[in-house]
A and B are shown apart, each in its own frame.
Chain A
Amino acid sequence: MDILEKLAILADSAKYDVSCSSSGVGRNGQSGKIGSAAACGICHSFAADGRCISLLKVLMSNACIYDCKYCVNRVSADTPRTSFTPEELSDLTIQFYRRNYIEGLFLSSGVLKSPDYTMERMISTARLLREKHRFNGYIHTKAIPGASQALIDEMGLWVDRMSVNIELPTEKSLQSLAPQKTPEAVIGPMARISEGIRSNLADRDHFRHAPKFVPAGQSTQMIVGASPDSDLRILRLSEGLYQKYKLKRVYFSAYTPVVRDPSLPSLMTEPPLMREHRLYQADWLMRFYGFTSDEIVSPKHPNLSLILDPKCAWALRNIDHFPVEVNRASYATLLRVPGIGVIGARRIVQARRVGSIDFEGLNKLGIVMKRARYFITCRGKVDVGVVFSPDIIARSLLSARELSLIPAARGGQMRFEDLPEMREIDGAKKDVLLLNPTNEVTEEYERRSEFGICV
């Protein structure tokens, strides 16, 4: 099989992996080597689905001895199988890199023969890149569940980021959909990597030239919508992973049906993109806005509203925290106002040093007034026409199209409390432009998206 055919197969079977980010580590170039890494990551292209292409995302091999039900590569699937050799893949990576197509390599794999055998092939590839090709750019590899600790330790020295996919948020779901993967096989490598990073940081404190172990940190991914697990479970688990294993990112992947199986959603099911988007917003709230998962979801409302973004929903549930005076509120308080993002809050604090800000000034700073105006005062004044009632604000925050999807709203009877139950919007999302939430934030993306749907 020639390299073009291999690439077509091994990229196709890698595409359901979400992560493509090249962030987390800044590294200057070096004479005698090729490449560098930018801490904020660089997107090299965007695919037709709007997702960022930063790394050459492929599998080492799509042959797999396991039989995870949701996966196109499972052993029982009837699909052509192939593998790259480490030489082929490292050559391809370096040729793409020279032409500035990519930031580096994101290498995953089906379990070829055994977890350890697979890991060895992947390590050879990373090693060829670093040693033979003198590659100084970004490498992200998967750690294969069940791989031995020694191999994880070795791989960590060649790559920038490692990840182990949790795939499903509960043991029960894992058992029913990925019977050969145990929670221990997933958590084991994750714990090992996290420990490796911790002790490596300590070593580097003492010996400046100690080799770096996974300097860009680790990430993981969960499939959303393949199992009946609630957003509450997903968000609590993510929060736990951030705290316990210091993960850099938890990615969510809306389940795209690829297999007919009684324990899975039918092939006709649309991927729950809106739900995925809301989960990313909630994740953002936990990582950058100082929210805890308890503030976002509760046993009473275990799922995120699909109609209203989680920050607006929180604000409406806690309307007694508002209005906030923009000229006095602390940075942390500003961050909790819908329509004010990290950049916006920073700009407000900056501009306040010169003089007090009015509504027009906020507009100039790029604050999304469409949302913010319901929750703030400027120099003690409320914006014209704003009434502090959650029901009225909720209605004003939604577009006419969104309102038309809510049966109760048609009669003008909609109450804010009814909103969390509204889940039917997912089917109608097709013409709603979603900003790709997996992209690293840059000022303008954030300004446009500040959690909203950008139309």
Chain B
Amino acid sequence: MNGEVNLVYVYDGTLEGFLCCIYESYARRQVPDEIRCEQSQATFFDRTEWIRTDTAHSDKVYGSLAEKICLESQDFIRDAFLTRHPEKEILMYRFIRMGYRMGRKVMDFLTDDTVNTLTKAVRNLHREAHLLKGFTRFTLYDNVMVACISPKNKVLPILADHFADRYPDETFLIYDKTNQMALVHKPEGTLLTSMSDMTLPPIEDPEKAYRTLWKCFYQTIAIEARENPKCRMTLMPRRFWHNMTEFDL
């Protein structure tokens, strides 16, 4: 590689595709400067190489994480892939290379910039997922429960188990507006799928009545003498509010 040209691996945007980038980098003895998914823009100085997804290769790389680093590193990489960090791929790439060299110790290397940034991004993902376990609001249309969320990270794969476990016999749908995905659950099973848009009919009674009751409870339960808007904002940032029934936004 020469100094001016960026070597960019382009993959199909799936985790398998990303793992194939790792495979190819070792097979081709190259060190990419960037790894991007196919929708992103190339610049004039890029030398792009398209990496084909081959599940035999990705399986091999995925298995090697457990063998050469540790079992937890598999979860870590899967989670890191769901984060919203704009450079997650190249960070994950560097993390894995480092892990092959250091073994499981790489997980503890929190003072290293790559490990630190990636760990923080994963923490941010889990924190957002945890908040949304509480902040997600369902609306009932007959017996189907529908919710809309606008998270920054791809939290649905993490939320899937929680909600499927909580409402095993219900039919529900959670639409992630940001990432255009949906989680669909029926008593027979749970499914993640892509979904570009969602329009819902206006709500009627008794749904309306329950919303009114909930708003009433929400407003009543605060103690006026302790009002503390800053504290509320810190614990429940405004960006969540427009999907929550207790606010008229």
What residues make up the interface of A, taking CB atoms closer than 8 Å to B? 3-4, 7-8, 11-12, 14-16, 28-36, 38, 42-54, 56-57, 92, 95-96, 98-101, 103, 137, 254, 256, 270-271, 273, 347, 350-351, 353-355, 357, 360-361, 364-365, 433-436, 439, 442-445, 448, 454
Contacts and interface: CB of A to CB of B under 8 A. Distances in A.
B242 interface: no
Nearest to A52: B235
Given A98-B145, A101-B137, A433 B110 contact: no
B40 interface: no
7 tightest A-B contacts by CB?
A50-B231, A47-B222, A361-B111, A29-B165, A50-B228, A49-B226, A48-B222
A45 B220 contact: no
Contacts of A98: 138, 140, 145, 167, 170
Nearest to B127: A444
Contacts of A32: 168-169
B29 interface: no
Nearest to A436: B231
Contact of B108 (A350, A364, A435): A350
A384 to B, nearest CB: 20
Nearest to B228: A50
Contact of A15 (B166, B222, B235): B222
Nearest to B112: A354
A190 B209 CA distance: 39
Interface of B: 102, 105, 108-111, 113, 116, 123, 127, 130-131, 133-140, 145, 147, 162, 164-170, 187, 210, 212-214, 216-232, 234-236, 244-246
16 contacts: A7-B217, A11-B216, A14-B221, A16-B223, A32-B169, A43-B134, A45-B246, A47-B232, A48-B232, A51-B226, A98-B138, A99-B137, A100-B137, A355-B109, A365-B111, A444-B123
Contact of A443 (B127, B138, B222): B127
B235 A350 contact: no
Contact of A53 (B105, B130, B133, B221): B221
A444 B124 CA distance: 9
Given A271-B226, A355-B111, A36 B221 contact: no
A56 B135 CA distance: 15
A52 B131 CA distance: 12
Given A7-B213, A56-B217, A100-B137, A49 B222 contact: yes
Dominant SS at the A interface? loop
A350 B244 CA distance: 39
Given A353-B105, A365-B111, A7 B216 contact: yes
Contacts of A57: 221
Contacts of A15: 220-223
B228 to A, nearest CB: 4
A15 B227 CA distance: 13
Contacts of B229: 48, 50
B145 A43 contact: no
A44 B134 contact: yes
Nearest to B212: A4
A353 to B, nearest CB: 5
A354 B166 contact: no
B234 A454 contact: yes
A44 B135 contact: yes
B101 to A, nearest CB: 12
A29 B166 contact: yes
B127 A34 contact: no
A7 B226 CA distance: 21
B239 to A, nearest CB: 14
A4 B227 CA distance: 24
A34 B167 contact: yes
Contact of B133 (A42, A92, A364): A42
Contacts of A30: 168
Nearest to B164: A29
Given A11-B217, A30-B168, A436-B231, A46 B236 contact: yes
Given A45-B246, A434-B231, A36 B166 contact: yes
